Amino acid sequence: MTKVGIIGIGHGVFGRRSDATVQELAFEAFSAAMKDAGLTREDLEASVIGSVPEYHKQRSLPGVVQEYLGLNPKPTWLTEVACASGSAAIRTAWMSIQAGVHDVVAVIGCQKMTELTTAEILGLMGRVGEVQWESVFGTTFPAYYAMFARRHMHEFGTTHEQLLQVAVKNHFYGAKNPCALFRKEITLEKAMESDEVALPLQVYDCCANADGAACVILAGEERAKEISNKVVWLEGMGCATASMSVLRRPHMVGLPSAEQSGAEAYKMAGIGPDDIKVAQVHDCFTIAEIMAYEDLGFCKKGGGGKFIADRQSYIGGKVAVNVDGGLKAKGHPIGATGVSQTYEIAKQLRGEAGERQVPGADIGLTHNVGGIGQYCFVQILRRD
Amino acid sequence: MTKVGIIGIGHGVFGRRSDATVQELAFEAFSAAMKDAGLTREDLEASVIGSVPEYHKQRSLPGVVQEYLGLNPKPTWLTEVACASGSAAIRTAWMSIQAGVHDVVAVIGCQKMTELTTAEILGLMGRVGEVQWESVFGTTFPAYYAMFARRHMHEFGTTHEQLLQVAVKNHFYGAKNPCALFRKEITLEKAMESDEVALPLQVYDCCANADGAACVILAGEERAKEISNKVVWLEGMGCATASMSVLRRPHMVGLPSAEQSGAEAYKMAGIGPDDIKVAQVHDCFTIAEIMAYEDLGFCKKGGGGKFIADRQSYIGGKVAVNVDGGLKAKGHPIGATGVSQTYEIAKQLRGEAGERQVPGADIGLTHNVGGIGQYCFVQILRRD
C-alpha cells in the first residue's frame, strides 16, 4: 500500500455567501488548492465531494460541481455522513489511492446552508435524530448537547464558565483567520450574558450555520513527492460509529465513536495523544470540544473543564486546539468542515499559518463528528 | 491488488412499501444477503449505503441503518450520485477492499420514495437539472429523455413502436420476478394507448418510483474463497461523468459517460461487448435502454431500435437485457437500483435465476446511470 499525502490546499471565506452558488464556492477552494499544488486539471484523476445534499436547492451536487470545475469526464462521487461528510470524502479518496484506482484526487467539501428559509432549516435540523422514535420528542442538536453538558457538569463538576472559555479561545483565534465567519474576540462576561438556547447552553456555546468550501488534493507517495516539496502525510485514519440514540450508549459524558476512531488512528500512525502538537476538533458546541479533549486522550476523562481553564488548549499549552477559530468562530458549513479541518492542520504542519502558527508543529490531528456522535473520523497528519 | 468478489446477495420486494421504514427495507435485503453468505455480523468490517438522501424524512441514513442492522461501531458511509448511488457505493466498497483497509464489506442500496407528498416529489424531480440555468426552463426527467428520443428517431428512423417493445420485453420478464413492482405482461397495443407524458414518451415508456432495497456483500479474494464456493468477481469497473447540460454534449443520441465507462470496464476486464451474456442496463425510459445497447457496443450506433425489434435483447438473442424486469417493471428506488442490478447479475452468473435464467451466463454487465447521464457506472462480472 502506498502512503497518501496532501499536495495542495485551498479554503474559501465561510459565512453568508449570497454572492456565490455552491459550485462557485467549490471553485473558490478548488482553484486555490490547484494553484497551491501547481497542477492543471489534466493531472487530476477524480474528485470527491463532501456535502449534505438536503440543504441545497441544487440536487446531485457532484455532477454540477464536476462540470463547473471543468473535470468531466473524470469520476466523481459524493459522501454523506452528516457533519462528518468532509472527512468521509477524504477517507474514500485515500482508499481510492491506496487501492491503486486513482493517483491524484481532489476532495472538495462544499455546502450552502443559507439559501433555504429558516423554517426549512429548522425542519431539517429537527430531524437529525431517529425520526420514528426520537425526534418527535424534541431532540434537536442543542437539546442533545445540553444533555451531554448537564451530565458532564453533574459527574465532574465542570462549570458553565469552563464551557464558555472554549468559545472565548476559539473567537480569540478566529479573529486571526481571514476565512472565519466571526472575526472578533469575545469576553467571558459577554458570552455569559448571551441568550439562552437549551440550558445550560447559550448562544455563545453554539456554532453557527454558514456557507463555505475547502479543498485538499491527495496523491500517492511517488507522485506526491514529484509534485510537492512540502507534502503532509495522512498517517492515521480512524472511523467508528455509534447508536443514533444516546439512550443506547454506555455513558453521556463523551462520544464512544470518538474514543474508538481516535484509538484506531493513533495505532495506525504508531503514536499517542502526547505526540499531537495541533488539533482541529469538532466544537459544534462548547461541551463537544471539552469531551473531545478527553475522548482523544489530551487529558483524562472529566479533566476537560480544567484543561481549558488552565489554557492547555491554547498555543503554548499541551496541545493547540482549534486555532483557526474552530466551528464556533469559523462557522460550520457542514459538508465543508471536515475538509477545512484537514486544510488547517496541513497549513500548520507546513508552517504557513501566520498569526495563528503553532511553533514546532510536526504532527497534527483532526476530529470530525457526524450528528451527535453516530459517526466520528479521526486523522493523524505528519509533515515530511 | 486483490481481486474482489461478491459472496452474498439479498433483495427485498420493490413497490409502495408503507409497511416498512427505510431501515427496515435495508434490513430485509441485508439479512437475506448475510444468510446467503453464511456470515454473522462479526465477519463484516464496514457497510456502505447507496441512497439519495432528499427523499427521506429520516436524515443521515447510514447512522440509522448501521444501528438498525446492529453494526455499530464499524465504519459506514453513504454515497450519492443520483440514480447511480448504488453503483457508487459498490465502487467505494471495492476500493476499500483493494486498498486493504477493509476485507468484508456490506453494500446496501436502500430508498423510500413514497413517504413524501406528490408535491414534494415533483419539487425534487423538477430540480434534477442545473437549477440556476436549466431547470427553470422545465427540463424534467421525462422532458430530457423525450429530447433524446426525438433526436434518435430523427437521426436513425427509430420508431415509437420500437421504444415500447423495450417496455413489452421488460414487463414480460418482470412478471417472472417476485421482487418486481409490476408483475404483469403488457401488449404493444396497450402500451401505445397509454397516457402521454412528454411526447413521444407515454406512460409505458417511463419507469416508476418505488421503495426498495438490495444488498451485496463483497470480500477480498482470499477471504471470498474461504467463505463461498460460488463467488462472482468484479472484473471491470468503469466510471465516467458528463456535463449536466445536454447542450454541452457532442450529441443527443447516446450518453458519452456510458460509452466511456463501458470502454473502461471492458478494458479492465480484458473482454469486449460480444462476451457479455446478460446485462442490466438503466432503462429509466425506454429510449435509455435503446441508447444503452449502442453505448455499450451490443449493436452499432443507431441500431438499437432494430436490436429490440429483432428480439436480440431477449433470452436467446445476442445478449439478454433486463431479464429481471429492469427499472421499467421492477420499479426504480433510485439509491437501490445499482445494487439491485449487481444482485441480478450475480444471481444469473450463479445459475439461480429460475424462470428468467439466461442459459450459459458466465459473464455479465451492469450499466447504472445517474441523472441524465452526468454519471455512468459500468461493472463487468464473471463467475468463478
User: What residues does each domain of chain B span?
Assistant: 4-117+209-227
Q: Is B78 on the interface with A (CB under 8 A)?
A: yes
pLDDT score for A133: 83
Give SS3 for B158.
coil
Angle of helix A85-98 relative to helix B85-98, nearest 10 degrees? 50
Average pLDDT, stretch B368-378?
96
Q: Could you report the per-residue pLDDT of B196-223, keeping only the tens digit for each?
A: 999 999 999 999 999 999 999 999 999 9
Phi (first) and psi of residue B82, to 5 degrees? 55, -135
Task: Answer whether A73 sits within 8 Å of B132, measured CB to CB.
Answer: no
Task: Tell me the sheet residues that pair with A381.
Answer: A234, A364
Contact between chains at B52 and A53 (C-beta distance less than 8 A): yes
Chain A residue with the nearest C-alpha to that of B83: A60
Would the pLDDT of B132 be above 90? no
Distance from CA of A161 to the nearest CA of B (A): 33
pLDDT for position B31: 98
Question: Helix count (H) and strand count (E) of chain A?
Answer: 13, 12
> Of B28, B27, B24, whose CA–CA distance to B12 is shortest?
B28
User: Which residues 351-380 of A are in CB contact (within 8 Å) with B?
Assistant: 370-371, 374-375
**A194 near B CB under 8 A:** no
Contact criterion met (CB < 8 Å) for A248 and B67? yes
Q: What angle do CA B19, B174, B28 make, to 5 degrees?
A: 35
End-to-end CA distance of chain B: 18
The alpha-carbon gap from B138 to the nearest alpha carbon of chain A, in Å, equals: 15
Residue type, B355: E
Residue with the three cell numbers 403488457: B186
CA distance A64 to chain B (A): 6
Task: Say yes or no for a CB contact (<8 Å) between B63 and A75.
Answer: no
Min Cα–Cα distance to chain A from B147, Å: 20
Q: Residues 232-291, chain A: which have Cβ within 8 Å of B?
A: 237, 239-245, 248, 256-257, 260
The CA-based angle A350-A355-A356, given to 5 degrees, is 65
In whole angstroms, give the CA distance from residue A268 to residue B80: 29
Which residue in B188, B86, B207 sits closest to B145, CA to CA? B207
Interface contacts (A, B; CB < 8 Å): 188
| Residues B239, A127: C-beta atoms closer than 8 Å | no
Work out the percent of chain B whose per-residue pLDDT is above 90. Answer: 90
CA-nearest residue to A87 within chain B is: B77
The CA-CA-CA angle for residues B54, B58, B63, to 5°, reads: 105
Position B124 pLDDT exceeds 90: no
SS3 for A169-183 is: HHHHHHCCCCCCCCC
CATH architecture of the domain covering B4-117+209-227: 3-Layer(aba) Sandwich (3.40)
CB A363 within 8 A of CB A384: no
Instruction: Please tell me the predicted confidence (pLDDT) of residue A41.
Output: 97
A124: chain B residues, CB-CB within 8 Å:
59
Beta pairing, strands B76-80 & B46-50? parallel
Q: Which of A56, A152, A171, A332 is catalytic?
A: A332
For residue A357, what are the contacts with CB-CB under 8 A and spacing of at least 6?
A348, A351
At B136 the pLDDT is 83
Q: Do A241 and B80 touch (CB under 8 A)?
A: no
| A67/B374 Cβ within 8 A | yes
CA angle B209, B214, B217 (to 5 degrees): 155
Task: Give pLDDT, residue B20.
Answer: 96
Determine the residue among A22, A55, A58, A60 to mutate to test chain B binding: the one whose Cβ has the most chain B Cβ atoms within 10 Å.
A60
- Which element (helix H / strand E) includes B234? strand B232-241
CB contact under 8 A, B131 and A75: no
* Residue B109: C-alpha distances to residues A48, B49, B80, B212 (Å): 19, 6, 11, 8
Q: Which of B60, B78, B245 to mutate to test the interface with A (most CBs of A within 10 A)?
A: B60
Q: Cα A114 to the chain's mean position, in Å?
A: 19
Tell me whether strands B4-11 and B212-220 are parallel, antiparallel or unpaired: antiparallel
User: Parallel, antiparallel, or unpaired: how do β-strands A104-111 and A46-50 relate?
Assistant: parallel
Query: Inter-chain contact A60–B245, Cβ cutoff 8 Å?
Result: no
Helix (H) or strand (E) holding A153: helix A141-156
Packing angle between helix B286-295 and helix B160-174, nearest 10 degrees?
100
Q: Pairing state of beta strands B320-321 and A46-50?
A: unpaired
Please give the Cα distance from B372 to B249 (Å, whole number).
Answer: 12
Question: Does residue B123 carry a pLDDT above 90?
Answer: no
Give catalytic status of residue A154 as yes or no: no
Q: Quick one: chain A helix, strand, coil %, rounded to 5? A: 40, 20, 35
Contacts of B245 in chain A (CB under 8 A): 67
Decide if B72 and A101 are in contact by the 8 Å CB cutoff.
no
Strands B104-111 and B46-50, by their bridges, are parallel
Interchain CB contact of A301 with B (< 8 Å)? no
Confidence of residue B128 (pLDDT cuts 50, 70, 90): confident
In this prediction, residue B200 carries a pLDDT of 97
- At residue B34, does pLDDT exceed 80? yes
| Shortest distance, CA A220 to any CA of chain B (angstroms) | 12
Query: For chain B, what's the residue count?
Result: 384
Q: What is the residue-level pLDDT of chain A in tens, covering all 384 positions?
A: 789 999 999 999 999 999 999 999 999 999 999 999 999 999 999 999 999 999 998 889 999 999 999 999 999 999 999 999 999 999 999 999 999 999 999 999 999 999 888 888 888 887 777 888 888 888 889 999 999 999 999 999 999 999 999 999 999 999 999 999 999 999 999 999 999 999 999 999 999 999 999 999 999 999 999 999 999 999 999 999 999 888 889 999 999 999 999 999 999 999 999 999 999 999 999 999 999 999 999 999 999 999 999 999 999 999 999 999 999 999 999 999 999 999 999 999 999 999 999 999 999 999 999 999 999 999 999 998
pLDDT averaged over chain B? 96
Catalytic center residues of B: 83, 332
CB contact under 8 A, B63 and A370: yes
CA distances from B155 to A209, B245, B256 (A): 51, 20, 17
Q: Which residues of A touch B65 (CB under 8 A)?
A: none
Q: Minimal CA–CA distance to B2: which of B115, B83, B71, B102?
A: B102
- pLDDT reported for residue A25: 98
Higher-scoring residue by pLDDT: B2, A72: A72
What is the DSSP code string of B32-92? HHHHHHT--GGG--EEEEE--GGG-SSSSHHHHHHHHTT-TTS-EEEEEBTBTHHHHHHHH
Q: Which of residues 43-72 of B touch A (CB under 8 A)?
A: 52-54, 57-60, 62-64, 66-67, 71-72
Interface touch A60/B21, C-beta < 8 Å: no
| Side chain identity at residue B310, one-letter code | D
Contact A132, A147 (CB under 8 A): no
The radius of gyration of chain A from alpha carbons, rounded to an integer in Å, stands at 19
State the nearest Cα–Cα gap between B51 and chain A, in angstroms.
10
Closest CA to A157 of A272, A55, A290, A270: A290
A114-118 contacts: CB < 8 A, separation 24 or more?
A114/A16, A114/A17, A114/A18, A114/A209, A114/A210, A114/A211, A115/A55, A115/A56, A115/A57, A116/A55, A116/A57
Question: CA A81 → CA A49, A91, A172, A246, A362, distances in Å?
Answer: 12, 12, 30, 17, 29
Active site residue A332: yes
* pLDDT of res. B279: 98
User: CB distance from A188 to chain B under 8 Å?
Assistant: no
A141: enclosing H helix or E strand: helix A141-156
Considering A11, A83, A207, A299, which one is annotated as catalytic? A83
Min distance A127 CA to chain B CA atoms (Å): 6
Closest Cβ opposite residue A244 in set B64, B78, B257: B64
- State pTM to two decimals: 0.98
Within 8 A of A132 by CB-CB distance, chain B residues are: 21, 58
| Residue among A158, A159, A128 nearest A144 (CA) | A128
∠ CA(B329), CA(B333), CA(B338), 5° rounding?
A: 90
Spatial distance between the Cα atoms of B134 and B119, rounded to a whole number of angstroms: 20
- Retrieve residue B382's grid coordinates: 464473471
SS (H, E, C) A283-337: CCEHHHHHHHHHHCCCCCCCCHHHHHHCCCCCCCCCCEECCCCHHHHHCECHHHH
Residue with cell 446478460: B278
Q: Is B31 exposed, middle or buried (0-12, 13-18, 19+ CB in 10 A)?
A: middle
Tell me what the mean pLDDT of segment B162-167 comes to. Answer: 98
Q: Could you give the CA distance from residue B192 to residue B187 in angstroms, rounded to a whole number?
A: 9
What pLDDT score was predicted for residue A304?
Answer: 98
A319 in Cβ contact with A361 (< 8 Å):
no
Q: Does A117 touch chain B (CB under 8 A)?
A: no
